[in-house]
A and B are shown apart, each in its own frame.
Chain A
Amino acid sequence: GAVVSQHPSWVICKSGTSVKIECRSLDFQATTMFWYRQFPKQSLMLMATSNEGSKATYEQGVEKDKFLINHASLTLSTLTVTSAHPEDSSFYICSARDPPGMNAFFGQGTRLTVV
């Protein structure tokens, strides 16, 4: 079945640094990928929709200059958390569907801890 791979699974970084998270569709092409954030004991919150070859669409309240999304190819989307702060610590998950309308596949998730 379709697989979405996310890397890294776990990262600790210092305040003020930037962290890049990669999301790859391994055996299908994903023109659209979605980035979610999940706080402890809460559901997935959509952050942005990543579109290959164009600008991402951000949800209300999500700072596009802080959470940079690049979707340069049909199999790779990246989320960069810039100038990270402790409040950015969270679980970030990407997903894509193959093809659109089928089951959404999720990456393994990235647990970010900013100290």
Chain B
Amino acid sequence: EDKVVQSPLSLVVHEGDTVTLNCSYEVTNFRSLLWYKQEKKAPTFLFMLTSSGIEKKSGRLSSILDKKELFSILNITATQTGDSAIYLCAVENSGNTPLVFGKGTRLSVIA
């Protein structure tokens, strides 16, 4: 059975801290791994990763995939209160199949 495991489930940090969110997976026909940020509504897209070792970066957020060890990390540097959200990791199999989601990491950034 396909599964995606995220850790930690919940995290509280102070503004300015750097955080690393983890996502490990076991799926049958891996195509890509995606990170989403969810605040009050539907998830919003952050990154799609398909190749190992290539870091994707967007501002203070970055992510990398290790296809050999089957995991990805999402880094957020110099955190701000606006980064408080649930971060979801999802894995896509080949074919037009639904994403397999992890349970998410709830990040709270306090001033």
Contacts and interface: CB of A to CB of B under 8 A. Distances in A.
Interface of A: 6, 9, 31-32, 34, 41-44, 46, 49, 93, 95, 97, 100-109
Contact of B92 (A41, A49, A101): A101
Interface in B27-49: 31-32, 34, 41-45, 48
Given A32-B96, A104-B34, A43 B101 contact: yes
9 contacts: A9-B41, A43-B104, A49-B98, A93-B43, A100-B96, A102-B48, A104-B92, A105-B45, A107-B42
Interface of B: 31-32, 34, 41-45, 48, 88, 90, 92, 94-99, 101-104, 106
Nearest to A92: B42
Q: Lowest 4 A-B CB distances belong to which pairs?
A: A100-B96, A106-B42, A109-B42, A43-B103
Contacts of B45: 103-105
B36 to A, nearest CB: 8
